[in-house]
Amino acid sequence: MAIIEEPLALTSGEAATAERPLGGLTRPQGGNGWRDWLSTVDHKKIGIMYGVSAMFFFVVGGIEALLIRWQLAAPEGQLLSAEVYNQVFTMHGVTMVFLFIMPLAAAFANYLIPLQIGARDVAFPRLNALSFWIWISGAIFLNSSWIVGGGGADCGWFCYSPNSGLAFSPSHGVDFYAIGLQIAGIASLLGAVNLIVTVLNMRAPGMSLFRMPILTWMLLVTQFLLLFALPVITVALFLLMFDRLFDAQFFNPATGGDPLLWQHLFWIFGHPEVYIIILPSFGIISEIIPTFSRKPIFGYSFMVFSGIAIGFMGWGVWAHHMFVSGIGPFSVAAFSLSTMFIAVPTGVKILNWLATMWGGKLLFSTPMLFAVGAVAMFTIGGLSGVTHALAPADTQQTDTYYIVAHFHYVIFGGGVLGLMGGLYFWWPKIFGHMLNETWGKVHFWIMLIGFNLTFGPMHVLGLQGMSRRIDTYSPGFGFELWNMVATIGAFIIALSVLVFFYNVWRSRRDAPNLPAPGPDPWDARSLEWMIPSPTPEHNFDEVPLVESEDEWWHRKYGYDENKRVVRIATIEEVAQDGSAEGVHLPAPSFWPLVLALGLPLIGYGLIFNLWLCVLGGALTGLALYSWALEPVDDPDADHGHDDHHDDDDGGDDDAAEPEAVTSGAEGGE
């Protein structure tokens, strides 16, 4: 990990010895192979691990989607029983939202935020590793219910009460849902705290907030949404867990409980969650479109403020998910209105993207295709969204396939396509070689066609009255044709994902025979492109001094006397060469992994045997204190400087204190 220098002898002649606070504990050296990955605190490796795991769960959720579509391809489908069908569509939704899109966005956030603001790492590197390990242990815990919990959760991804109660869902699936999402939520909360502090505190000199790239801005808004939305779902999940495991009386109408409470708590989280999913993609699109239009983003401050506005207004629209729950005409009217208002900042963004492209020298490379595709598909999803902002129309549409069509256009069309574009765009920065352009374009067109074939017909099915979540339908309702089209489309999407994986494999195989992409293959605009590809371990040789928005572009281009853009420097002249030595990086640690292993044990314990909780709690506690007491750095290395890392943990309440004490060791030099 760290580029380690030998400790130098002191002038007094005394040998230099580093302090070991507890004598026994040391930081691992990293080394290579799997140990390196398990103990890494490098934001780039953590980002890659998020990305790889997210793609794995994309395949899992995709297989669940194909099962759903196979079942519904023709009337009287027999592939899945009604019970299994309920589990499959529930786990499809949960997997795609919590185990695919959110971690893929987290991958971009982890990898790119420090690079875009000119930092060497995030504010709390070990906490960052902890977020990843907790998330993956939650993800595995959640999916283990297929094996040990008697099947997956079967209550839909929003798991309405009383369907989620013991009476209607007697297997352990919902318990795994409640606890698994809590574990994943801890990960996102810690990540949010970490990234917010990183963005606010670790910007390079001159990088004022309003010089930050739009992607960083959108990710910052996303982290704030996570910060405030997650505790609300945490409350809801705790109440659900208490109901199911400890006989509390929260959601059982028979004993005075109120199912509407769940709906409110869930959607107060759930609607901001929609923006948590979409804003990272908006940020990526806002990086790609200016680069391939050869123009700066149109209306930078409007883009930033509309993102912030979406972040705020996202809190005031949750009850539009509940128009038919009987919340009363006044509430319905108010939320109907606020929902229409939130289309305004979103529309601002779409117009600004179009205005950025207007008059630009457009270059339709694969990232640009995905970005433009995402804008187009999101616009369709946004428009159908406005149709159910109108409560009377929504009353007709709710719980039909029209809704399914809408949110897939938003989340898949707007979210996933944008993230895919981001993968193509930053692939050379992350892995040091480009993805094949031809296969990338094949991937894009197959995915776009498959996507529209799958979800376009669902608008029609929904308006024809096909309700969502039914496991099959009888012939004669006119549902046959469009269901078959949708199923064919789903398999075309699957094909496009295979093309993507093939492209990844092929590009990697071909990379040694192709010229290296260099630091800046797309002639892009933000700071991450001024350093070599793949990113060196220490990110920046020296931290850049930022003088304008689109800093990197302004280092390459200037204006002549006629105010025309002229090239003032080649990439090679102004890029850093990654040769810095002696940059002190945070030492790796195994404790985040150990701590994260304790949480699923507590989860299994709550469900099966409380003694396991004791074991899991002990493991967590041991890891917390070991974490706090392990030296801030490798004691055998020269750690005269801990660089910029206050490598401790302010986010996790009982970790905060003891850790901070040891970090005193660094302050005392």
Give the contacts of 609 (CB within 8 A, at least 6 positions apart).
none
Q: Which of 26, 144, 234, 472 touches another protein (CB under 8 A)?
A: 234
Q: Which is nearer to another protein, 36 or 638 (CB)?
A: 638
Stretch of residues binding another protein (CB under 8 A), selected from 349-357, 383-391, 487-495, 655-663: 655-663
Q: Are 211 and 549 in contact (CB under 8 A)?
A: yes
Q: Does 255 bind another protein (CB under 8 A)?
A: yes
CB of 665 to another protein, least distance (A): 5
Q: Are 530 and 574 in contact (CB under 8 A)?
A: yes
Q: Which of 36, 437, 537, 643 touches another protein (CB under 8 A)?
A: 643
Q: How far is CA 363 from CA 288, 290, 359, 372, 650, in A?
A: 11, 10, 12, 11, 45
The structure tokens 């529209």 sit at 452
Q: Which is nearer to another protein, 79 or 227 (CB)?
A: 227
CB of 206 to another protein, least distance (A): 10
In the chain, count of helices (H) and strands (E)?
22, 2
Q: Which of 257, 373, 382, 534 touches another protein (CB under 8 A)?
A: 257
Q: Which of 197, 303, 417, 606 touches another protein (CB under 8 A)?
A: 197
Residue 144, exposed/middle/buried by CB under 10 A (0-12, 13-18, 19+)?
Answer: middle
Residue 303, exposed/middle/buried by CB under 10 A (0-12, 13-18, 19+)?
Answer: buried
Q: Which is nearer to another protein, 1 or 230 (CB)?
A: 230
CB of 525 to another protein, least distance (A): 21
CB of 549 to another protein, least distance (A): 16
d(CA 366, CA 440): 6
Q: Does 215 bind another protein (CB under 8 A)?
A: no
CB of 235 to another protein, least distance (A): 3
Residue 567, exposed/middle/buried by CB under 10 A (0-12, 13-18, 19+)?
Answer: exposed
Q: Which is nearer to another protein, 540 or 590 (CB)?
A: 540
The structure tokens 């993102």 sit at 307
Q: Which is nearer to another protein, 394 or 652 (CB)?
A: 652
| Token pair belonging to 71 | 């079942």
Q: Which of 108, 133, 135, 250 touches another protein (CB under 8 A)?
A: 250
Q: Which is nearer to another protein, 304 or 391 (CB)?
A: 304
Q: Which of 192, 348, 410, 531 touches another protein (CB under 8 A)?
A: 192
| Token pair belonging to 448 | 């776009």
- Provide the Cα torsion 341, 278, 214, 112; round to 10°: 160
Q: Which is nearer to another protein, 234 or 396 (CB)?
A: 234
Q: How far is CA 589 from CA 14, 17, 126, 128, 661, in A?
A: 29, 21, 7, 11, 18
Residues 604-633 that bind another protein (CB under 8 A): 628
Q: Are 519 and 571 in contact (CB under 8 A)?
A: yes
Q: Which of 31, 205, 465, 478 touches another protein (CB under 8 A)?
A: 205
**By rule CB under 8 A, what string of x and - marks binding of each residue 514-553 to another protein?**
-----------------------------x----------
Q: Does 19 bind another protein (CB under 8 A)?
A: yes
CB of 299 to another protein, least distance (A): 25
Q: Does 435 bind another protein (CB under 8 A)?
A: no
**By rule CB under 8 A, what string of x and - marks binding of each residue 569-608 to another protein?**
-------------xxx------------------------
Q: Does 125 bind another protein (CB under 8 A)?
A: no
Q: Does 328 bind another protein (CB under 8 A)?
A: no
Q: How far is CA 49 from CA 128, 131, 136, 249, 412, in A?
A: 12, 11, 10, 40, 22
Q: Are 654 and 624 in contact (CB under 8 A)?
A: yes
Q: Which is nearer to another protein, 128 or 487 (CB)?
A: 128
Q: Which is nearer to another protein, 255 or 474 (CB)?
A: 255
Q: Which is nearer to another protein, 88 or 624 (CB)?
A: 624
CB of 543 to another protein, least distance (A): 6
DSSP track, 221-283:
HHHHHHHHHHHHHHHHHHHHHHHHHH---SS-GGGT--HHHHHHHHHHHHHHHHHHHHHHHHH
Residues 268-297 that bind another protein (CB under 8 A): 268
Q: Which is nearer to another protein, 143 or 223 (CB)?
A: 223
Q: Which is nearer to another protein, 228 or 502 (CB)?
A: 228
Instruction: Count Cβ atoms below 10 Å from residue 609 Cβ, excluding itself.
Output: 11
Give the contacts of 429 (CB within 8 A, at least 6 positions apart).
115, 528, 529, 533, 534, 535
Site size toward another protein, by CB under 8 A: 82
